[in-house]
Structure 1
């Protein structure tokens, strides 16, 4: 199937991580020029090298998303190098594990700035161009915790939920301009973040790591963790012309893990 996005320009946030890297590589394989943004220079370089080895086109931007003042500078540089951004993938790192109570308000504020306000600011910088050109895709990677809150990830559950309300509201505002806005939820996808959370759970419960992973896998109908590539395939479809009538949606990529309708 021709996804009809060859020649488009994408900005992928968190492009050095497991999900962001996979998304970036898949978009590049479809002929998209990809701007890679991440605070980790080494991870950025690894993603860029993989794309270039496959003949793709990319540029890297070492970018601390919590620095909202830097958004305009980075986007302007991308526009000069590649042209205006057509596809924005909002993919941020997760906050540290925490309970819902007893967390310093300053920690909440820092994570809200990095995970929520940064995404809104970057989208607001790019969105006018999308609307003027009558084509755009805004895809926000979230968490299954917005459907079924995950124990000991209270900050993630709460902050990611705020982006769902924002995305749904934004989708209605820009739909007539042929700009779609969707949220995609990963279940248990085999990334370093999931590995870290499994390790933390094993330590917190004083259990063997293998037992924690086995228990987690047993809760997934497909009886395995997903791969970053499987997640990236769905993101790439949402970014495509083939998904032109999908907006305001929450799409799950979880192997059937979430039991709610």
Structure 2
């Protein structure tokens, strides 16, 4: 299926590893020029090398979106190098685990800045160009915790669901200008974060057995969903929060 986005410019934050890199890879494979943003310079350089294998223009920006000035710098540099941004994939790394009484106010400040306000700043910065050109796709990547509160993830439950609320609100406000806004909620995906919280391979296998499809997901499976939502083929999909969790969630909605 031709997704109709060849030649589009995509910005993917948290794009040096895991789900972010998988999303950038899927978009590059579909013919997008891609800018990836992340905090780790070595991983960022490796990501650029990998993405260039698709023959498209790839750029990288070293930035931490906890910094209030970073979003504008990242967007402006992407625009200067690749052109106006058509697709924004806002992917913030998950905040630390912990029950409500275990996380301090400083932890809340960091989680809100990075996972909520970082996303809001990015959207506010790319939105004027998208609206003026009559086409844009914004895809946020959160977590199953945006739909279903998970034990021991107080910060994630709060900030991820807040992002989903931003998506649902904004989708109704800008669709008339050709800009579609959606959210992806991964479940157990084979990333460093999951491996660090799960343990060894045996524990990872056991974790996968609790999923209805019988395994944990692959990052590229999320990346392909992101690419679809960013595409012309998804032109009537707007304001959704889509679970990509192998059927693990029990929530009806």
The TM-score with structure 2 as length reference comes to: 0.96
Alignment of 1:225 onto 2:216 = yes
How many angstroms does 1:210 deviate by? 4.9
The alignment covers a number of residue pairs equal to 252
| Cα distance between partner residues in 2 of 1:190 and 1:56 | 27
Larger mean Cα displacement after TM superposition, 64-73 or 156-165: 64-73
The reply on whether 1:125 has 2:125 as its aligned counterpart is: yes
Report the Cα offset of residue 102 of structure 1: 4.0
Distance between the aligned counterparts of 1:212 and 1:123, measured in 2? 38
- C-alpha distance in 1 between matches for 2:247 and 2:4: 29
Q: Which residue of 2 aligns with 1:31?
A: 31
Larger Rg: 1
Note if 1:68 corresponds to 2:68.
Answer: yes
Q: Secondary structure at the match of 1:15?
A: coil
Task: Quote the Cα distance in structure 1 between the aligned partners of 2:215 and 2:231.
Answer: 28
**Secondary structure in 1 matching 2:173:** helix
**Structure 2 equivalent of residue 8 of structure 1:** 8
- The aligned counterpart of 2:176 is 176
SS at match of 2:69: helix
Gaps of 5+ in 1: 200-208
Q: CA RMSD in A?
A: 1.2
Q: Which residue of structure 2 lines up, in the alignment, with residue 137 of structure 1?
A: 137
Does structure 2 conserve the Cα–Cα contact (< 8 Å) formed by 1:35 and 1:60? yes
Listed as ranges, the matches of 1:1-261 within 5 Å are: 1-199=1-199, 209-210=200-201, 212-261=203-252
Structure 2 unpaired stretches of 5+: none
Greater CA drift, 70-79 or 171-180: 70-79
- State the Cα distance separating 1:71 from its structure 2 match: 2.1
* Matches of 2:80 and 2:202, distance apart in 1: 51
When the two structures are superposed, what TM-score results if normalisation uses the length of structure 1?
Answer: 0.93
Q: Which runs of 4+ in 1 moved over 4 A?
A: none
